[in-house]
Amino acid sequence: MSAQRTSTMTAVWLVLQRDLRLATRRPAQLIQPLAFFAVVTLLFPLGYTPELSKLRAVAPGVLWVGALLASMLALESLFREDAGDGTLEQFVVSGQPLVALMGAKTAAHWLLTGLPLTLMAPVLAIALGVSVAAMPGILLSLAIGTVSLSLLGAVGAGLTLGVRRGGVLLALLTLPLAVPVLIFGAKATELAIAGESLTGPLYLLGALAVLGVTLAPIAAAAAVRIGLE
């Protein structure tokens, strides 16, 4: 049993390393979500108002909607390229738990998309008039929330694996499921900006993340098996 557990952990680590290594060879895919997040956030004042007091009031919604849409840009290719070159079939017949391998690919997506978006958010928040004191709360809420977004996205990417050009369907499946994350994340950001305690929304975001870590890899693995049939 111990040897099997070690073998599974090694396989998970190798999949994670592989995805990170492949991503560094395609820097455009790494930059695209970040550029989209920055453009959406920085262009918003031009269409709304340049007054920092008003921008500060809408900053939570702008940041979270931008992060949600930006994270979805990299979802369509999460499994599709591996399905095209036969990698997913090798995962299925490898003898390793497909759930663990899907979890590794989801973790790679968060490291390549969710984490950079989280680290960029404070810079964009300052452009919306948010004080530096609110940055720890913004970072923490986005770090937890983007984990849930990556997990939900992995399920949606698995369900649309067999659909040609399934980007629109992926959005239709993922966006409704991400609404609770969006609501609690925006509320936590709002409280952080106001200087109030954000413990309640953070607990709810954490509960969603734990639920996602528990169930999403299982659902993604089942969806991938169906998509490969």
**pLDDT tens for the chain, residues 1 to 229:** 444 555 888 888 999 999 999 888 888 888 999 999 999 888 888 888 778 888 888 999 999 999 999 988 888 778 878 887 888 888 888 888 999 999 999 999 999 999 999 999 999 999 888 999 999 999 999 999 999 999 999 998 888 887 776 677 888 888 899 999 999 999 999 999 999 999 999 999 999 999 999 999 999 999 888 887 7
Q: What is the spatial distance between Cα 38 and Cα 66, in angstroms, rounded to a whole number?
A: 8
Contact present, 162 and 227 (Cβ < 8 Å): yes
The pTM of the full predicted model, rounded to 2 decimals, is: 0.90
What residue spans define the domains of the chain?
2-228
What does the angle CA 78 – CA 227 – CA 90 come to, to the nearest 5 degrees? 70
Joined together, the tokens standing for residue 173 give 């499946």
